[in-house]
Structure 1
C-alpha cells in the first residue's frame, strides 16, 4: 500500500484535507483512500486515519482492504468483538486473503492468545509468495514467540527473516536480544562474526559485536569492533560512546574524552557523554574541568540522578562537605523520592555533625526502601546520640526482623536496655551478642562506656570468655 506516484498521492492528500476543512464531499477511488490511510497511520495521525476509513467505507463499502484498516482501528481501540465479527465476514468473502489472517493474528495477540496467533500466522505464510511478505511474516511470528518467552523459536524466525533481508536491523537487534536473554554470549559473538563475513560494512553488527566483547571483558576486541563500526559510519554516535567506555576500562582517559567529545559535536550534547567526560577528567586530576562537566550534565538533564550524585560525591571526596550538602539539597528539591539522594544527604550531614538532619535523612532513606544494615545501624547510633533511646530500640527491633542474629544489633540493644534500666533485657541481649560474635564488644566501649563498667556486665563478659576457653 505504499505510495507509488508521489505527485498523485500528494494531490490526493491535499484534496482530502481540503475536503475536511470545507465539508465538501469529494470522490476518491479505494486505492487513494488506502494510500491516504496508510500515510496517516505511518505518521501516527490516528484520528485522521479513522476519518479516512469512515469516508472510504461510505464510498466503497465492499473494499476488503478498507475493511481491514477498520479492523485494525477496532483492535487499536480494544473493540475486539467488533474486530472479530468484521474479520469473520471478510473471511467468508475471501478465505485465501493472507491479510485477513494477519489481522486475526493481531487480534489474538492483543487478547494474549499468542500460541493461536502463531498458528494463524503460519497459515498465512502458506499463502504468501513474495519474499518481502514472507520476511514480514517471519518477524511477526518471531515477535509472538518473544511474547511467549520462547527465545529459541523467536531467534529461529528472526534468522529466517535476515536470510531474506540481511538489512533488517530490527531483526538483527532482536536476535542479539534473544542471545542475551539466553545467556549465550559466545554464540552471539559467533553469529555476529558470521553475519559480518557477508556484510563487512554493517556498523550495527560491529557495534553489537563490540558490546558482546565488552560484556566478557575482552576490551581489545571490543575496541577493534567499535573502530570498525566507526569506519563503516563515522557519524555513528553509539560507537563513539561505547569506544569511550572501553578506553576508560583501559585507563586511556584522554582518548576516552576525545571520543565523548566527538559525540557532542555530532549531535546535541548528551548528559551521558558529559558525565563520562567529568569522570575521566577527575581520573586525570583535572578537578576544575571535571566539576565543569558535572555542572553541564545537570544543566543538560536536571532529572538525571547520576549527575547530581557525581557532583555531590566529587565534593565529598574533596572533603568540601558544605558544597556537597548544597548540591544534594538541590537534587532533593528536584526529586524528593530518590533514595540515593537521601542516603547521601544523611551521610554528609553526619560528617558535618548535624545529628538531627542526619537522623532524618537515614529515616527517609529507610522509608524509601533502603534496608541495608549500615543504614539501620547508622540511624540507631544517631538516635542514641540524640538521647532518643526508646526510638533507637524500636529501630533496632525492626532491623532484627531483616537481619536476625547479628551481633552488632544485639550489642546495641543490650546497651540501650541497660541505659533504660531494663537489666533483664540488657543481660539477655548481651549474652546473645557474645554468643554471636564477641569481637563486636567495642560497640559497648564506643556507645555505652558507662554500661561497660557495670559489674554485672563485666561478669557476663568474663563468663563468656571463660566458656570460650
Structure 2
C-alpha cells in the first residue's frame, strides 16, 4: 500500500518517523513495516528503508517479506553475493514464493546473465497469480538481449492481461520500430483499437506510424481520434500540428500548438514550431517573437538559437545573426552547429580570421566533414598562412584519401611556398583523380599558374 498525504493510511509512517526522532521503540505489525519500506523504496529513500528493514526484522525476525526487502536493497547496492546467500536461505523456507525467483532473476540481470534471468522468471510465472509484472520483466530481459520478437511477444501478453498497461504498449511499438515492421505495427494497433476504441495512447501511436510512412491523411485522422478520446492529450495536439505543417496548413498547425500552451506549461518545441509556421506564412514579426520566446523558455535548446540565427541570416541581417549565435556559443561552447554557423556568417561579412577560428573549433570538437577542412584551409590561404593551410589539408587527406579537391589545394599550397617536389607530387595525384577540379588552382593559387613546371604538367593533360 502506498501512503497518501490526505488519508489516515499514513499514520504508521508518521508514527515510524516520530519514533526515529525520539528513539522510543514502538511496535508495528509486519504488514505495516512492509508498507513503510515500500513507501521509502518508491521515494528513493534507501537509508530510511534500511532502517525500517532493520527495525522490522528485530520485531519480526521470521518475516520472509521483510527479508525479501533486504534482498532488494542488497541488489540495489550491488551486494549481489549477500543477496544471493539470503535468497538461498529463503528458498529453503518457502520454495513456492514467486518473489524469491523474481529477486533471483534481478541478480542474474544485474550480472548481465539475461538468459538465466528469463529461465528463473518463467519458473516464477508458474507460481504467481499476478502474471502481468512477470511478463513485463521477461520482456525487458529479452530487450537486453536484443531479441525483439520475443520481447514483443511478452509485452503483448501483458496487454492481453491488462489493456491499460500503456508501458507495455509503448514497448511493443518500440519493438516493431526497431524491427522496421511499420505495417505490422499499424495492423496490431488497428486490431487493438477495434477492441479498445477510446484508447488515446494507441491512437497517438497509430498516428506516429502513419506519419512515418508519410500517410498524413490517416495520421491526422488517428490524432483526431486521440483528441476525441482525451481532449487534454498534449502529445496528440503536438503531433497533429506536425502533420498539418507537412500538409502546409500552417494556420491550423499554429492552432494545435497554441492549444498545448494552454493545457500545460509552454514547451520550447511548441513555441519553435509556431515561430516556424509564422515564418512560412511570411509573418516575420510574429515568427521572430516566437523564436525569442523559444530561447527564453529553454536557453539550452540549440534548435531555438539556430532558428533565430538562420532567420536573421536569411534576412541578410548578419550583425543580428552574429549577435545571437554568439549568445548561443556563450551558453554552450561545445556545440558544433553553433560554431559552423558562426564561421559561415563571419565568412559572409569578410571577417576571415573569426571564420577560420570557428572552423578550427568545429574540427577540434570532432566535426570532420570535408567541407569544414576545405573551408578552413581556403581561409588560411586567404589570410596568407599557407604553412598552416598545408598542415590543415595534410590532416584532411588522412580522413579523405585520394580526394581531388584536397590534392589540388595541397599542390597549390606547397608550390606557393616553393616546395616544388611536394607540390608536383600532389598536382599529379589531383589530375589523376579528377581533372575537372583543376579550376581550384586558378581560384585559390593564380600566381602558381605562371610556373613553368605547372604549365608543362597541365599542358600534358590537355
TM more than 0.5:
yes
- Matched residues in 2 for 1:201 and 1:44: separation? 35
1:370 alignment counterpart: 367
Match of 2:159 in 1: 162
| SS in structure 2 of the partner of residue 126 of structure 1 | helix
Aligned to 1:289: 286
Residue 185 of structure 2 corresponds to residue 182 of structure 1: no
Aligned partners of 1:414, 1:148: CA distance in 2, in Å? Answer: 52
Tell me the equivalent position of 1:23: 23
CA, structure 1 residues 456+144, in 2 after alignment: closer, same or farther (shift >3 Å)? same
- Indicate whether 1:300 and 2:291 are aligned: no
Is the aligned partner of 1:231 residue 2:228?
A: yes
Gaps (5+ residues) in structure 2? none
1:422 is aligned to 419
Shift in Å, 1:178: 0.6
Shift of 1:3: 7.2
CA distance in 1, matches of 2:101, 2:39: 23
Distance 2:35 2:423 in 1: 82
SS at match of 2:127: coil
**Paired residues, number:** 461
Pairwise CA distance, 1:8: 5.3
1:125 maps to 2:108: no
Question: 1:149 Cα shift?
Answer: 1.1
Residue 94 of structure 2 is aligned to residue 97 of structure 1: no
1:381 pairs, out of 367, 378, 382, with 378
What SS does the aligned partner of 1:62 have?
coil
Query: Equivalent residue for 1:241?
Result: 238
CA contact (8 A) 1:451 1:457 kept: yes
In structure 2, how many angstroms separate the alpha carbons of the residues matched to 1:3 and 1:407? 71
Partner of 2:83: 83
Name the residue aligned to 1:153: 150
Deviation at 1:46, TM superposition (A): 2.4
Find the residue that maps to 1:285 and give its secondary structure: coil
Matches within 5 A, 1:273-422: 273-422=270-419
**1:458 aligned onto 2:455:** yes
Question: After superposition, what is the alpha-carbon deviation per residue over 1:27-86, rounded to whole angstroms, capped at 9, x for unaligned?
Answer: 001011111112222233322222211111111111000000110011111111111111
Contact map agreement 1:9 1:32 (CA 8 A) in 2:
no
Distance 2:422 2:222 in 1: 65
2:198 — aligned with what?
Answer: 201
d(CA) in 2 for partners of 1:285, 1:8: 60
How far did residue 193 of structure 1 move? 0.3
1:120-143 deviations in whole A, cap 9, x for unaligned? 111111112x2xx11111111111
Does structure 1 residue 68 correspond to structure 2 residue 65?
A: no
| Corresponding residue number in structure 2 for 1:39 | 39
Segments of 5+ residues of structure 1 without an aligned counterpart are: none
Aligned-partner Cα distance in 1 for 2:182–2:141: 23
- Residue 210 of structure 1 is matched in structure 2 by 207
Deviation per CA, 1:403-443, whole angstroms, max 9, x where unpaired?
11122111111111221112222222222222222221221
**Take 2:85 and 2:221, find their aligned partners in 1: how far apart are those partners?**
56
User: Residues 274, 97 of structure 1: CA spacing in aligned structure 2 closer, same or farther, 3 A cutoff?
Assistant: same
C-alpha contact (below 8 Å) 1:9/1:35 kept by paired residues = no
Distance, in Å, in 1 between the alignment partners of 2:8 and 2:364 is 63
Distance in 2 (CA, whole Å) between partners of 1:107 and 1:418 is 67
Tell me if structure 2 keeps the 8 A contact 1:355–1:386: yes
CA RMSD of aligned residues (A): 1.4
